[in-house]
Amino acid sequence: MDLELDGRTAIVTGGSLGIGRATARALAAEGATVVVTARRLPLLERTAKELEAETGCRVVPLVSDTDDTASVRAMVRRVADELGRVDILVNGAAAPSGLVRNAVEEADPELLLADLNTKVVGYFRCAQAVTPHMKAGGYGRIINIGGLTGRSSHALSGMRNLAVVHLTKVLSDQLGPSGVTVNTLHPGVVETEHIHELYEKEAAKRGVTAAEVEADFVARTPIRRVLEADEIAQAVCFLASPRAAAITGESLGMDGGLTRGIFL
């Protein structure tokens, strides 16, 4: 299926690693010009060079800090000035798995605020900055990478993902008349650079091995495996395309069936 992304310009925050990197690769492979943005320039430059070699499409590394409104606005302004348009925003810059996963007695309120600032307000900063450009072009796709902890009580940091869903719905209402859709994807357990750190942390809490933690996730997942980042990226590409024009304000779990809740 042709996703009609050739000639589009996409910004991927947190684009140097994990799901962000996989998404940047997939968008570039579909013909989009992709801006990967994060805080560390050397890693961004290496990622951009590798993805350009893989896809044959332009991948631009730009530094930004989504905790800083001025930084985000400067990055988006540079994209618009140098590339002429902003069509797609993939919000993915956040601390993997959240900063606060312990019991309330040990939880650090400042870390909780940091989580909310980065993932919720940070996503808002980016969406706000791209909105005028998307409205001017009559086309826009904002895809927020959430997380399944927003659908469970496993971690206090899960509240950030619930807030992202609320943000998604509000923005979809406001931007829909201008041709801009806004959706959230909730990845499940995905093979990334950070997932093994999560296994180790969970193992320490449970008094088991990291391998046993991974095996438990696999056993509880109906498809009986950990997901690949490329699988999430392909769903992002669809939502970023004109093919998904009728889908907005939605929150989609991509977890291989791990979640047992029923969401209408």
Q: Judging by beta carbons within 10 Å of its beta carbon (0-12, 13-18, 19+), is residue 124 exposed, middle or buried?
A: buried
The answer to pTM > 0.85 is yes
> How distant, in Å, are the alpha carbons of 40, 65, 150, 152, 256 from that of 260?
38, 35, 13, 10, 11
Instruction: Kindly report the CATH number assigned to the domain that includes residue 34.
Output: 3.40.50.720
Q: Which domain range does residue 143 map to?
A: 9-190+228-254
Query: How far is 30 from 24, CA to CA, in rounded Å?
Result: 10
Q: With respect to residue 202, please indicate whether it lies within any of the assigned structural domains.
A: no
129 near 72, Cβ under 8 Å?
yes
Q: With respect to residue 62, please indicate whether it lies within any of the assigned structural domains.
A: yes
Write the pLDDT tens digit of every residue in 191-238.
887 888 888 888 888 889 988 888 888 888 889 999 999 999 999 999
Q: With respect to residue 233, please indicate whether it lies within any of the assigned structural domains.
A: yes
Query: How far is 142 from 139, CA to CA, in rounded Å?
Result: 10
Q: With respect to residue 201, please indicate whether it lies within any of the assigned structural domains.
A: no
How much is the pLDDT for 5? 97
Integer-rounded Cα Rg, in Å, for the chain is: 18
How much is the pLDDT for 197? 81
Query: How far is 98 from 66, CA to CA, in rounded Å?
Result: 16
Which residue is listed with tokens 């769903």? 235
Domain count of the chain? 1
Q: For the residues of 15-64, what is the DSSP string, one character each? A: TTSHHHHHHHHHHHHTT-EEEEEES-HHHHHHHHHHHHHHHSS-EEEEE-
Q: With respect to residue 212, please indicate whether it lies within any of the assigned structural domains.
A: no
Query: How far is 132 from 18, CA to CA, in rounded Å?
Result: 29
Q: With respect to residue 198, please indicate whether it lies within any of the assigned structural domains.
A: no
Low-confidence ranges of the chain (pLDDT < 50): none
74 near 23, Cβ under 8 Å?
no
